[in-house]
Amino acid sequence: MHLALWGVMLLTTASAVQSRPHPGVTGERLVISLALAGCLLSLAVAALVRGPWKSEAATAAIPLILGAAGDVLAWLQPTSTMMIPVATAVAMLFARLRPSLAVLLAAPLTVSLGVITAHASPSRNAVQNAGASALLCVVLGAAYVFARQARLRHDHTELLLAELEDSREAQARAAAVAERTRIARELHDVLAQSLSALSVQLEGARKLAERDQADPALRQLIVRSGELTREGLSDARRAVAALRGDDVPMADQLTALVGRCRRDLALPITLSVTGQPRALTPEANLALYRGTQEALTNAARYAPGSPTTVALRSTPQATTLTVSDRGRAAGADHTETGVTVPPAEAWTGGGNGLRGMRERIERVGGRIHAGPTEQGWTVEMEIPT
């Protein structure tokens, strides 16, 4: 309709300028000028405003002004084109208002246009011309009623399609949660129970070794195996919790991990947590935890004894976890207070590698950067919040 309104403006202006009496500034010509101005102003406003009006009164005012000004022009300049502004006003009423109100407001404009057309026509054609002008208004009104209903049905169909899509996504999420719960249950039943049984067996082996006065190195290996089994059980439970969607604070997980690395890998690690912790998905928490675990294992493997920093930084935009070491320390070995420390390859944190770290982080929408620095090696993982 907006393009058509500009065409009606040009047609109305050309007809008013060419018809007699011409627009002017005195008497009847002044009235024609004012009526033409009312038509052009209302048409321009209707063409420029594309959004919905604030109220029905404002919506109805523009076509009523156009229709009244068009009736005045048709009365003073009785030409065949002067019915177009009134017919346009009727179309605007039906296009922008509910049908009952549009009929109430369009009826006076249609009747007045028919009367004016009949008065300006020869007596033998008066009824025919009046009926034609009224029929034009009725046809345009009906066309816009149907167009309005079609648009509403289209909008309703789009809404139903959007609701259907949301329902399908909800069903897919529910199915994924159910499958993850099933996998978590299977992991718990198989892996966690097996590790628990292994821990019990190792504890029995430790007691037997103590009773039989076995070699101290053997007893130490049995004790360490029991500790690793319990830590593996803890990791298995953490993975099951992530699958089930349980949330464990990242700072607490890092504190436990750093304590294990200090004890098992002989790494002098410093942990720092800054910013207000942001809520992350269990998958994102697990990805950061595994990435930190792998980075610390690599630091112990390639830079044993090197001072290492683990920094967790939370901002409104992202959660960033950085692991940095200073390279291989001079004279570093794998002993601590005279007790042999197991190599990093034997620690439970190893095995993912940089590729696995990257895949984990990217799977949850994050990014990772790993590379050498002036003093050592840095791994930085960032997940948007």
In the listed set 104, 120, 136, which residue is the last one of a domain according to the structure?
120
Reported as a pLDDT band with limits 50, 70 and 90, residue 341 is very low
Least confident of 57-61, 237-241, 276-280, 289-293: 237-241
Those residues with Cβ within 8 angstroms of residue 177's Cβ, 6 or more apart along the chain or in another chain: 245
The answer to whether residue 285 sits within a structural domain is yes
- Report pLDDT for 332: 46
Q: Which residue has the tokens 């065949």?
A: 80
Mean pLDDT of the chain: 80
The residue from 61, 86, 120 where one domain ends is: 120
14, part of any domain: yes
Q: 324: pLDDT confidence band, cut at 50, 70 and 90?
A: very high
What residues form DSSP beta bridges with 336?
339
Higher local confidence (pLDDT), 163 or 136: 163
**Residue 60: which domain range?**
2-120
Beta strand 308-314 with 269-274: parallel, antiparallel or unpaired?
A: parallel
pLDDT of residue 300: 85
Asked if the structure places residue 155 within a domain, the reply is no
Reported as a single tens digit per residue, the pLDDT across 236-271 is 776 777 666 666 677 878 888 888 888 777 788 999
Number of domains making up the chain: 2
On whether the CB atoms of residues 109 and 89 are closer than 8 A, the answer is yes
In a domain, 203, yes or no: no
Q: Is residue 262 part of a domain?
A: yes
Residues 34 and 42: their CA atoms lie apart, in Å, by 12
pLDDT category of residue 192 using cuts at 50, 70 and 90:
low
pLDDT digits (tens, 9 = 90+) for 286-308: 888 889 988 888 888 888 888 99
> Is residue 368 in some structural domain?
yes
Q: Do you know the residue count of the chain? A: 385
What is the token pair recorded at 29? Answer: 């010509």
> Residue 323 has what pLDDT?
93
Which position has the token pair 């990217």? 362
**pLDDT over 80 (residue 124):** no
Q: What is the mean pLDDT of residues 128-150?
A: 83
Task: Single out the residue in 73, 100, 120 at which a domain terminates.
Answer: 120
Whether 349 is in a domain gets the answer: yes
Q: For the whole prediction, is pTM greater than 0.85?
A: no
- What sign has the CA pseudo-torsion 284, 286, 291, 296? positive
The C-alpha atoms of residue 261 and residue 28 are separated, in whole angstroms, by: 99
Does residue 134 fall inside a structural domain?
no
Cα dihedral sign, 200-204-209-211: positive
- What amino acid is encoded at 88 in this protein? T
For residues 215 and 240, give the distance between their C-alpha atoms in angstroms, rounded to a whole number: 38
What pLDDT is attached to residue 189? 66
Neighbours of 19 (CB within 10 A): 17
pLDDT of residue 75: 84
Contacts with 183 (C-beta within 8 Å, 6 or more apart), sequence order:
243
pLDDT score of 71 more than 70: yes
SS3 state of residue 323: strand
For the domain that residue 312 is a member of, what is the CATH number? Answer: 3.30.565.10
- The whole-angstrom separation of Cα 381 and Cα 352 is 15
Higher pLDDT, 34 or 185: 34
φ, ψ of residue 326 to 5 degrees: the values are: -110, 20
Of 104, 112, 103, residue with least CA distance to 138: 103
Closest CA to 273 of 260, 292, 286, 290: 292
- Where residue 51 falls among pLDDT bands split at 50, 70, 90? low
Q: How far apart are CA 196 and CA 123, in angstroms?
A: 108
